Amino acid sequence: MPLTIRRKLLYYYGVFLAISYGIAAVLTGVFISSGLNRLLYSNIADLNDNIVEVLESSEETDFSKTLITAKEYTGVDLLVYQNDIIYYSSISTIALDLENAFQVSSLYSVYRVTSGDQYYYFTHSEVKNGEYQVYVFRVEGSLMGDNETILLMSFIGVVFLSIAISLISVFSAKTFALPARVLANYVNNLSFQDKPKRRPVFDISEYEELSIALERAHSRVYEYSKAEQEFLHNFSHEMKTPLTNIYSYSEALYYGVLSEKEMKDTSLVIMHESEKLKDFINQVLYLGRLDRVGEALNVSRVNLVDIIGDALNSIDIQAKEKGIKLDFRHEQEDVYLFGDAEKLEVALVNLLANAVRYAKTIIIIHLKVTTDKVIITIDDDGIGIDESIRDEIWERYFIGKEGHTGLGLTITKAIIEKHQATISVDENSMKGARFIIEFTMNKKIVVSL
């Protein structure tokens, strides 16, 4: 599963912090060791001073005995020279190379010599006016005892920390910048005239979501481009036929080759074709307005009973000419909801005009209110709509039998959906078409679309 940028950053910087804390722990250990060493050197120096003081105050005859007592009580090892000859030793001088001893503290005059895995820390003093040279040895584990090593380790820690930060920064930048470049390259190679290309896949969820969104956007643009081309084709066809008829009949009128009756018939054809052109252009413009992102609904509290009544009045003459009865049934005198009265009327007029074209004797409009819905059904006793094309009738420029522009139902669906409602088509008990509009009462209408 892809990681989010936030989680990936947390992962990277978690590692970074772990490394940083590790380095800090090492450096802390170094400085603690340094402090312990300083304490060790101070103790050795104090112990040496005490032993030297005791030896200095002892009688010559008791000097040897005092050395043994100091050894027993302090637990240190003593090496005493008298005139460069070993006078007393509690430690093997063979294992110790005193000539190569290393001064670990100039402040306390402490030296260190190594034998195997042991560190021997010692001090050197003279007693009895320089007659005796006393070495006091103390055995300790392998502690860090030189300032140069501490400084070196600190420097290495700082350098390592700097390198770690640099590497993590470079790796982070590369990790998050590379997908952006891949997406930019993908977008730059897209064309709205080409079919959607396979999108790049990422293991970071935000980039994956962006990639999917870009692919979908390109698909929509591609489909829009196809629809636009189809629109231009259909538009030119729809315009060409009536314009050709208008031109032909106008030419006949101009040259006076028609009888009086033919002139009247020709005038009616020209008027009819002009009306078709006007209707088609108006619908194209109206659909364009609905498609516009900034197109707003003029939402107010409207009465559906009145809107349906106005729509019925608009197609009343057409219905009477075909001998079709309009039957509006509603259980309540007023049914209120929030919507755009003008656009809802356009949608209903388109549906009713469609029903008038196919109905034989009757169109029934039923307005029903339930607990959470308002339902409008429009039934006719016509030939119905074949199940195989019920999804296609909403597409632009789909012209059914006896259809006109192929835009009416497209406009209707767009208006209904902008009201957060649904529209569907089915078959009724008269074998004709049934259009069903459902408004959900608890849904809010978006005013600006």
Q: Give the whole-number percent of the chain exceeding pLDDT 70.
A: 72
Q: Which of 417, 443, 423, 445 is nearest to 291 (CA)?
A: 417
Mean pLDDT lowest for which of 181-185, 320-324, 351-355? 181-185
Q: Which of 268, 260, 340, 265 is nearest to 307 (CA)?
A: 340
Name the fold adopted by 205-291. Answer: Helix Hairpins (1.10.287)
What's the pLDDT tens digit per position in 117-131? Answer: 777 888 888 888 888
What is the Cα–Cα distance from 48 to 45, expressed in whole angstroms?
5
What's the pLDDT tens digit per position in 244-270? Answer: 888 888 888 888 877 878 888 888 888
pLDDT at 213: 82
Q: CATH assignment of 300-440?
A: 3.30.565.10
Instruction: Give pairs for 286-294: CB < 8 Å, separation 24+.
Output: 286/346, 286/411, 287/396, 287/407, 287/410, 287/411, 287/414, 290/411, 290/414, 290/415, 290/418, 291/414, 293/449, 294/448, 294/449
Cβ(215)–Cβ(199) below 8 Å: yes
| pLDDT > 60? residue 60 | yes
Q: Does domain 5-150 have CATH number 3.30.450?
A: yes
Per-residue pLDDT band at 273 (split at 50, 70, 90):
confident
The whole-model pTM stands at: 0.46
Burial class (CB in 10 A: 0-12, 13-18, 19+), 27: middle
Query: pLDDT: is 126 or 223 the higher one?
Result: 126
Domain boundaries, the chain: 5-150, 205-291, 300-440
Counted residue by residue, the chain has a size of 449
What is the Cα–Cα distance from 122 to 112, expressed in whole angstroms?
6
What is the Cα–Cα distance from 69 to 431, expressed in whole angstroms?
125
- Over residues 100-123, mean pLDDT: 81
Per-residue pLDDT band at 149 (split at 50, 70, 90):
low
Q: Helix, strand, coil shares of the chain as percentages rounded to 5?
A: 55, 20, 25
Q: Give the whole-number percent of the chain exceeding pLDDT 90.
A: 10
